[in-house]
Structure 1
Amino acid sequence: MKTTYIRLSIATALLLGTYSCKKGEVSATDMEKYATADSASVVSSDSISSVASMKVKDKQFIKTADINMEVKDVYEATISIEKSVQELGGFVTHSNLNSNVVSEDTYNTSSDNAMLVKKYQTENRMQMRIPTNKLGELLTLINDKKLFLNSRSINAEDVTSSIKYAELEGKRIKKTSENISQLKANKDKVQLDDNNMSEGNQQQLANMDVTDNLKYSTIDIYIKEPKLRIAEIAIINTKNIDNKYKFNFIYSVKEAFVEGYYLIQRILVGLIMIWPVLLIGAVIVYFLRKRKSIKKPEQNISQL
């Protein structure tokens, strides 16, 4: 992914069209001189990789590295690596240390105390920029921290031809700018000059990115611990606390009386709400009883 970004930066720097008369040429030339100076200062003292310290006459390289390894202590290794980067004139752009919890269990040790046991694995993803001439030295220091190296990738992208092409483009851009300056002043010339300045600024920015990538190498590191760690944390026995306050007889009886009182109130309110039904029912019962009382004397008379 880093290589793709670098290639896009170079392509943007070289193919963006017309550029202002002096900026394009100076930027391309300075980029080549800067890269040459950096390459010449590389000392082949890196025993860990010939790619990291590679120096070829008349060649310029953008170098990157990607490392995946296991260490004894992620936190300690992180602090040590970051310190080494600073001492070598580099800087850390990203560091994400994370503890992945695999399991978490609570064990009661007494009626009041308990122990929380966590099993976890710590890892860290880091990205840093280091002066290219210090890349080999930093890789050696990082290698000393490993328990096991899962993978390591070191890339050296040859951008010599791209830098040369940028210089040629600078000369062409200068000529184009001179031709624009000879045009008759009108709205079209203003538009051409404005477009030329805009594209020139974009190319200048892209050239700065390429120069920065030549001066500083990018390293991505992923480190983790090979085995799970265990953390023991003293906590309160919450289960005993729950049992202590789970049921209170006196309080529950008091609440029952209060709830019973409110229940009676709700029943009375309900009866009041249905008073028409109760009244109709009472009237019906009254007439039924009255009718029964009339029928009984008639039955007694017929029997006589």
Structure 2
Amino acid sequence: MKTTYIKLSLASLLLLGVYSCKKGEATASDYELSASADSASAMISDSVSSVANMKVKDKQFIKTADVNMEVKDVYEATISIEKSVQDLGGFVTHSELHSNVISEDIYNTSNENAMLVKKYQTENTMQVRVPTERLGELLTLINNKKLFLNSRVINAEDVTANIKYAELEGKRIKKTGENISQLKTNKDKVKMGDENMTEDNLQQLANMDVTDNLKYSTIDIYIKEPKLRIAEIAITNSHNIDNKYKFNFIYDAKNAFVEGFYLIQKIAVGLITVWPILLILGLVIYFLRKRKPLKNNTPTLSE
């Protein structure tokens, strides 16, 4: 009996050993599959920070990003980013594309034609918003357009406590409104009711703002081209045109004669306008001249 028990025990141990080996092999195989899947996932999201896709149980985050990079063609990159944002269910809130002119020169190529040569650098400042769950996808698409990444900042602000506080504030405001409604109607009650309603409106606005920021992430994007571009613009030789019409003797002489005639008329009209002053001056001169002979005829003491 004892021998039989020992044999059964040994058989059980052997079976357990075989099962454990098979289980270990299965576990190793599962681990290898999991590792390969994780590796593939890491390759796909290699250029995107884990912050963009971060999820924590019982936590809520407002996510924002700031990207500064250089691209081959700013205009083409802008169109591509805007299309990607729309495809992901987002929208563009700001896009300011402009060219900074470094230099501007004019070269005359003939008596009539010239060439305007501009050296410039194009850049664009954008702000877009996408559903928060698609933030990582958009950052990957933006990253594919880069020649050089100057900087990328991704923020995830934990607003869990703020949301809880907003709920408590809502309950307080509601309770205050109920207490005010039980008061006797007078000026103070009307004022307190109005103030409580204003506070309730502001709280609802803040809640809507937080909800919107939780649903949509904001991304600020600055892109520019690393090298200067050159634009050649055909224009008219303005210098030659200026020389052509700079002076016309017959026309200018005619205008000078007419302007001289008008000047004489203006002088005559001016003299007529100040006739009282001229009259007074004439009288003064007349009396001064009349008194001079009297002074000369007056005998002196020596005579």
Which TM bucket (shorter chain)? Answer: 0.5 to 0.7
Q: Which residue number in structure 2 is paired with residue 198 of structure 1? A: 198
Show the 5 A alignment for 1:66-105: 66-105=66-105
Q: Distance in 1 between matches of 2:255 and 2:242?
A: 20
Matched residues, number: 232
SS at match of 1:52: helix
Q: Which residue of 1 aligns with 2:162?
A: 162
Code of the residue aligned with 1:136 in structure 2: it is: G
Report how far residue 251 of structure 1 moved.
4.6
C-alpha distance in 1, partners of 2:260/2:63?
84
Which one-letter code corresponds to 2:92 in the other structure? V
Please give the alpha-carbon distance, in whole angstroms, between the structure 1 residues aligned to 2:142 and 2:164: 35
Q: Bigger shift: 237-246 or 137-146?
A: 237-246
Q: SS in structure 1 opposite 2:141?
A: helix
Following superposition, the deviation at residue 160 of structure 1 comes to: 1.0
Tell me which structure has the larger Cα radius of gyration.
2
Taking a change above 3 Å as real, the CA distance of residues 54 and 262 of structure 1, as seen in their structure-2 partners, is same
Question: Closer, same or farther in 2 for the Cα pair 1:50/1:248, shift >3 Å?
Answer: same
| Aligned counterparts of 1:216 and 1:101: Cα–Cα separation in 2 | 36
Q: Which residue of 1 aligns with 2:243?
A: 243
The verdict on how the C-alpha distance between 1:185 and 1:72 changes in structure 2, with shifts beyond 3 A counting, is same
Alignment-derived partner of residue 36 in structure 1: none
Alpha-carbon deviation of 1:253?
6.1
Which segments of 5 or more consecutive residues in structure 1 lack a partner in the other structure? 1-42, 281-304
Which ranges of structure 2 fall in alignment gaps of 5 or more residues? 1-40, 273-277, 286-303
The answer for the alignment partner of 2:132 in structure 1 is 132
Residues 204 and 259 (structure 1), Cα distance of their counterparts in 2 relative to 1, 3 Å cut: closer
Q: In 1, Cα distance between the equivalents of 2:116 and 2:240?
A: 15
CA distance in 2, matches of 1:249, 1:53: 79
The SS at the match of 1:162 is helix
CA drift of 1:218 comes to 0.7
Q: Is the 8 A contact 1:88 1:130 kept in 2?
A: yes
Matches within 5 A, 1:1-304: 46-47=45-46, 48-181=48-181, 183-187=182-186, 188-251=188-251, 258=257, 262=261
- Matched residue of 2:157: which SS? strand
- Aligned residues of 2:66 and 2:153 also touching (Cα < 8 A): yes
Between 1 and 2, higher relative CO (CA 8 Å, sep ≥ 6) is seen in 1
Q: Report deviation, 1:223.
A: 0.9
The answer (yes or no) to whether the contact 1:46–1:52 under 8 Å persists in 2 is no
Quote the RMSD (CA, aligned, Å). 3.2
Relative to structure 1, the CA distance from residue 236 to residue 185 in structure 2 (aligned partners, 3 Å threshold; closer, same or farther) is same
Q: Which moved more, 1:127-136 or 1:159-168?
A: 159-168
Displacement of 1:250 after TM fit? 5.0
**In structure 2, do the counterparts of structure 1 residues 191 and 242 end up closer, same or farther at CA, with 3 Å as the change threshold?**
closer
The alpha-carbon distance between structure 1 residues 264 and 184, as it changes in their structure 2 partners (threshold 3 A), is closer
SS of 2:52's equivalent?
A: coil
Helix, strand or coil: the match of 1:111? coil
Are the counterparts in 1 of residues 173 and 199 from structure 2 also a CA contact under 8 Å?
no
The normalised TM-score by structure 1 is 0.67
Q: TM-score, normalised by structure 2?
A: 0.67
Provide the rounded CA distance (Å) in 2 between the counterparts of 1:191 and 1:239.
74
Instruction: Say whether the 8 Å CA contact 1:69–1:224 is kept in structure 2.
Output: yes
Tell me how far 1:131 sits from its aligned partner: 0.6
Cα gap change, 1:207/1:110 in structure 2, threshold over 3 Å: closer, same or farther? same
Q: Deviations over 1:122-151 (max 9, x none)?
A: 111111111100111001111111111111
Q: 1:250 to 1:143 in 2, by over 3 A?
A: same
Q: Secondary structure at the match of 1:55?
A: coil
Contact 1:59 1:158 in 2 (8 A): yes
